[in-house]
Structure 1
Amino acid sequence: MSTWRPITKAPLWRRCLPAWLHGPAVLMFSLSVVGAVIALGVAFFYFLLASKFDLDEVAKLPSGTVYYDRNGKEIDVPGSSGRKIVSRDEIPDFMVEALAAREDAHFFEHSGVDFKGLLRATVRNVKDRDFTQGASTLTMQLARNTFEMRAKSLHRKAVEIALTLRIEGRYSKDEILTSYLNRIYFGSGAYGVEQAAKTYFGKSTAQLHPGECAMIVGIIRGPHIFSPLRNLPAAIEQRNQTLARMVDAGFITTERAEAVKELEIRLTKDDGSSENQSSYALLAVKRELEKIMEKEDILLSGLKVYTTLDSSWQGRLETELNRAVFALENENGWEHPTHSSHESGTEADYLQYAAVTTETKSGAVLALIGGRDFSHSRYDRTRSKRDLGSAFEPFVAAAAAERGKLVLPGSPLQTGRQIGPAEVERLSKRCGLSGPFLQTEDLFRGAVAATPMEMSVGLATLGNKGKKPKPFFIRSIKNLEGKEIYRATPSLDPALSSAGAQEAISVLEQRAGTRSFTGATGSERDAWTLRLGPAGSTAIWIGFDRPQKIAGERRLDALLDEFVQRLGN
């Protein structure tokens, strides 16, 4: 008796594939299912992380860095105020097309992520074992700028992608593009396209002609390098490259691009730019800030920077220095161009000055003046070495006193001969002077060079009983939420004995609660004033960028003496 069994057909794939491929096919299918499940899990994980970000921040005006002096007074910094959000209607269509052509040719087509470009970049990063290739779209850049997503790992990049897709789902393309232009940095202290338009061209965004639009877009990849106020030829080259990309993308014709190049680029005056309205002191603060934090974390992070600067003393020092140098220039027989008239020559032809005041006990910089006019010359002369001449006497005295030798005020040659040039050089370096030092007895007469910053620190070392302070400009930093994220710790290094420092101070003239020195080098090319006050140690240099004789030493000494008297204590 036969048993009936139903006849079942094998799946089509089994009938189509040889029997020896059935096992691998089942394995591949299983792996595909597992891979899909894992991919979905990973995607869910990163979208969960991305959901924690508040997308309302995308359209908000970003916060700039605010600076305060030592007394909590806000320092007026162009670039942190006067910012304005522009609407899409105020942005010329030519700028929109230029931005798309230069930064993201498929912006209006993709969903926020250029997956083909991202795949190429990922393969390159894996091959190079680095994460320098990003294939970022405008939306990805907006996400990074808004939420400080500095993607340097695959994990951070994945979060950025998930956040980008959320932004694309929340905002329209026009809203994304507008938020991007309102947020990014354009150089010269300009944050956002409206401030960039005002800074560079003195007009609103809506008033920009196509050539100006292309130039502003060209600045984006290098705000510091391509700022037209810094380097107009480089900015023009970036404009031309932007126009070439627009031609390649089909936004304009070659003929149109050439016509745009002929449009006049009329920049605002240098002394009206945001960056030029800054100061030597503020630039020094910014240099220190960039050593403390990454540059990307500074821009638009809403930082509150509490500096060591004393605005009142800074203003007083500038006023009295201006008065003294102006009086010197207006003496009968003055043979050089006068700064007030800018009658001829370059900035190097005018009499200049530099000054630094350091808090004696801590090293906090209370004031810094790098020249007469920041808008005409950004060269910081507090960092430039100049001959010291007789201003070196306190350090000769310090070296002699440290070795138990007799200090002879007004006779540095006799004082120095007791210990020799090598010992004077060694002790001076411990006080903060780096030289170069002449290896002969002429060293005792001041054959040595130093910067005003070094002289201020050296003087502070003498006034601080031989302990050398390390100069600093920033006391503390708070983030946007008001949390302190940095606080300076004053650093003091023993340089010489308290008795040696006290003996060295005795060569300075005592006046109304301060000790001071005024005088010029033997060549009369450099004049120095040292002032050790109750709290601060001030070093002031007067001279020319290209060394030349200033004036009769007697008249110069008289003016500097008057200057010290006016400063008081």
Structure 2
Amino acid sequence: MSSWRTTRKIPAWQSWMPEWLRTALRWGIWAVVICLVTLLVGAMYFFAEASRFDLAEVARMPARTTIFDRNGKEIGSAGGNNRRLVSRQDIPDFLVKALRAREDARFFEHSGVDVRGLLRATVRNVKDGDFTQGASTLSMQLARNTYGEEHKQLKAKSIHRKLLEIALTLRIENHYTKDQILAHYLNRIYFGSGCHGVDQAARTYFGKPVSELNEAESAMMVGIIRGPHIFSPFRNFKAAKEQQTQTLARMKAMKLIDAETVDLISNRPIKLVPSEQRTSERSYVLEAVQKELQDILDDEDIRDGGLVVKTTLDSGWQLRLETDLSESLRKIEQSKTWTYPVHANHEPGQTPAYLQCAAVTLETKTGAILGLVGGRDYLDSRFDRTIGARRDLGAAFEPWIAAAAAERGRIVLPGKPVQTGRQIGPKETARIAKRCGITGPFQESEDLFRGIAAATPLELATGLATLGNQGMRPKPFLIQSIATPDGKTVYQASSSLSPAIGKAAAKEAASLLENTGSTRVYGGATGSGRDAWLARLGPKGSTAIWVGFDQPQRISSAAQLDQVLSDLATRLGN
């Protein structure tokens, strides 16, 4: 039996080719078909993945950031609640040009993906062997900023993320106009210093809506986008100015402006909102929370609003501090021998000339701030005296003289700080006090042992907590955690303790505090009578209270000093 095979007829256009070339051609065609099928399947997969995202989220901005105390009681809001949404008509044309020059030159030409830029970035990434270049357009950045926090696929740098981002971007471009994308992008991104959205940033930095920004301010705003934390003009004006210069240079290179215009804009002065007008909070404690929140938002790269912030504050104790301080000072001012004005009129920007106060309570073992009072009247003066009133401690410095002596194995003589301090000298005493959190300045003579050592109320509270925590100094903090509205934790604080002095020395120093039931209270005033201090070391909390004038002057008689201190001690001890 003979076998036979049908002879395949060679197409005429291949008849001139040698066999090896025809074979290579066939394999090449199959490779192209396989690649096209693979690309088609891949595109279908990523578009299917992208279809799971709700495009309405792009225009839906996060709600206000809500602040709670440690027990879950709402005490205020910040951040996102001040976000004002703008449309393209509200955004100056110059700002749009600056944004194009710095972030996406072909924004109005491409369909969401800049193929040229993507190819350049791919070549660069292959050379570097890493994802050093992203070639993200404004539309791609909007996709990432909208969905990045909720979807881990859009956070980690990878080819998968980039392809999913491209598919999602194409959907966004098909759903929204260019002007809408531009407005949504600027409404959503973070501009540093707690500012979410371009209009809130314009009002925070320059005191005006975005529609009123001039060319110099617009260029600086665009420069901030590259690094909201490091380029914030409040934090580093020089760096923000440099970013403005780079933005203008890029605009010139793109022939959007000429050299003469660059010079005019560069030399135009920038007027930032004064520091005393930079907060819309209505209490010292909420302002302090807002400042710490801004630091965390920047440091942790948390860009969205609509957050749930749980603080360390105890709202019950906070109210008690505020009311007891207010009542005690009111009584002293109603005294027949009181000679100073009560809430005297003063010009804007001047320091109020009436009796002031400040108070801080720390959770001794952790440094968590349970309560904070920065002054008498926040609406009258926003100066936070818990960190700004640096005054001599007077007799209240004695526990740290004792701590220094005990740490060096010397004898502690209660009620005799000068004799106790002489055993080790001013230099060593100051060194130990600094380790406990009291930073001075310190008198370099024996006057240090008479209380010529300065501290803020927060430092005194930290020093007390160190004594009550067996010599371990806690770092004060106000925010426990930050979560997204759906409950995902994006920040969790942890207490930070550092060794300051030995357990025996801390115990010896703490024993100097007068024991009143389960609460130890110590009162002292400087010899000049200009400042009154109360230091309370309780079983769980360490409280420092200062009473005096912003411009140092004698408060009144010794009897009145004793009255205000004893009254406060009694109220807090109950």
Question: What is the TM-score with the length of structure 1 in the denominator?
Answer: 0.73
Match of 1:100 in 2: 100
Equivalent-residue separation in structure 1 for 2:76 and 2:270 (angstroms): 29
Alpha carbons of structure 1 residues 509 and 247: separation in structure 2 relative to 1, 3 Å: same
Amino acid of the structure 1 residue aligned with 2:524: T
Give the drift of 1:305: 1.0
Match of 1:564 in 2: 565
Encode CA deviations 1:30-86: one digit per residue, 9 max, x unaligned: 444433333334333333332222111001122353222345454445543243322
Work out which of the residue numbers 515, 518, 538 in structure 1 matches 2:521: 515
Deviates more, 1:170-179 or 1:394-403: 394-403
Amino acid of the structure 2 residue aligned with 1:163: L
Is contact 2:393-2:525 (8 Å) kept?
no
Query: Partner of 2:301: helix, strand, or coil?
Result: helix
Match of 2:415 in 1: 410
Alpha carbons of structure 1 residues 473 and 237: separation in structure 2 relative to 1, 3 Å: closer
Determine if the alignment matches structure 1 residue 173 to structure 2 residue 168: no
Match of 1:305 in 2: 309
Query: Partner of 2:105: helix, strand, or coil?
Result: coil
Encode CA deviations 1:190-229: one digit per residue, 9 max, x unaligned: 3223323433454444444555544433433344455555
Equivalent-residue separation in structure 2 for 1:314 and 1:14 (angstroms): 99
Give the drift of 1:170: 1.7
Equivalent-residue separation in structure 1 for 2:494 and 2:172 (angstroms): 42
Is contact 2:292-2:478 (8 Å) kept?
no
Alpha carbons of structure 1 residues 233 and 396: separation in structure 2 relative to 1, 3 Å: closer
Determine if the alignment matches structure 1 residue 272 to structure 2 residue 298: no
Encode CA deviations 1:69-122: one digit per residue, 9 max, x unaligned: 345454445543243322233334443333223321100111111122223223
Matches within 5 A, 1:34-49: 34-49=34-49
Matches within 5 A, 1:142-541: 142-148=142-148, 149-210=154-215, 212-227=217-232, 238-239=243-244, 241-252=246-257, 268-274=273-279, 282-283=287-288, 287=292, 295-297=300-302, 299-309=303-313, 310=315, 311-313=318-320, 315=322, 355-360=359-364, 363-368=367-372, 382=387, 390-397=395-402, 408-415=413-420, 452-463=457-468, 471-482=476-487, 501=507, 504-508=510-514, 515-520=521-526, 529-532=534-537, 536-540=541-545
Match of 2:151 in 1: none
Matches within 5 A, 1:84-95: 84-95=84-95
Determine if the alignment matches structure 1 residue 12 to structure 2 residue 18: no
Deviates more, 1:56-65 or 1:414-423: 414-423
Alpha carbons of structure 1 residues 155 and 322: separation in structure 2 relative to 1, 3 Å: farther
Give the drift of 1:146: 0.8
Is contact 1:276-1:374 (8 Å) kept?
no
Amino acid of the structure 2 residue aligned with 1:191: H
Give the drift of 1:505: 3.5
Deviates more, 1:381-390 or 1:449-458: 381-390
Q: Percent identity?
A: 49
Give the drift of 1:142: 0.7
Alpha carbons of structure 1 residues 395 and 539: separation in structure 2 relative to 1, 3 Å: same
Deviates more, 1:397-406 or 1:165-174: 397-406
Is contact 1:352-1:543 (8 Å) kept?
yes
Query: Partner of 1:516: helix, strand, or coil?
Result: strand
Is contact 2:79-2:305 (8 Å) kept?
no
Is contact 2:466-2:506 (8 Å) kept?
no
Is contact 1:113-1:164 (8 Å) kept?
yes
Match of 1:57 in 2: 57
Give the drift of 1:397: 4.3
Equivalent-residue separation in structure 2 for 1:423 and 1:413 (angstroms): 14
Alpha carbons of structure 1 residues 536 and 402: separation in structure 2 relative to 1, 3 Å: same
Alpha carbons of structure 1 residues 391 and 269: separation in structure 2 relative to 1, 3 Å: closer
Is contact 2:64-2:78 (8 Å) kept?
no
Query: Partner of 1:85: helix, strand, or coil?
Result: coil
Equivalent-residue separation in structure 2 for 1:126 and 1:189 (angstroms): 37
Equivalent-residue separation in structure 1 for 2:545 and 2:415 (angstroms): 20
Deviates more, 1:282-291 or 1:47-56: 282-291
Is contact 1:100-1:106 (8 Å) kept?
yes
Encode CA deviations 1:215-255: one digit per residue, 9 max, x unaligned: 43343334445555566666566555545544443445566
Query: Partner of 1:537: helix, strand, or coil?
Result: strand
Deviates more, 1:212-221 or 1:309-318: 309-318
Alpha-carbon RMSD:
5.4
Equivalent-residue separation in structure 2 for 1:24 and 1:447 (angstroms): 93
Give the drift of 1:369: 6.0
Amino acid of the structure 1 residue aligned with 2:525: G
Give the drift of 1:12: 3.3
Give the drift of 1:138: 0.6
Equivalent-residue separation in structure 2 for 1:332 and 1:165 (angstroms): 74
Is contact 1:324-1:559 (8 Å) kept?
no
Amino acid of the structure 1 residue aligned with 2:541: G
Q: Which runs of 5+ in 2 are unaligned?
A: 149-153
Equivalent-residue separation in structure 1 for 2:256 and 2:409 (angstroms): 81
Deviates more, 1:389-398 or 1:315-324: 315-324
Alpha carbons of structure 1 residues 397 and 245: separation in structure 2 relative to 1, 3 Å: closer
Equivalent-residue separation in structure 1 for 2:15 and 2:69 (angstroms): 80
Deviates more, 1:35-44 or 1:312-321: 312-321
Deviates more, 1:107-116 or 1:383-392: 383-392
Alpha carbons of structure 1 residues 352 and 435: separation in structure 2 relative to 1, 3 Å: same
Alpha carbons of structure 1 residues 189 and 250: separation in structure 2 relative to 1, 3 Å: same
Alpha carbons of structure 1 residues 521 and 11: separation in structure 2 relative to 1, 3 Å: farther
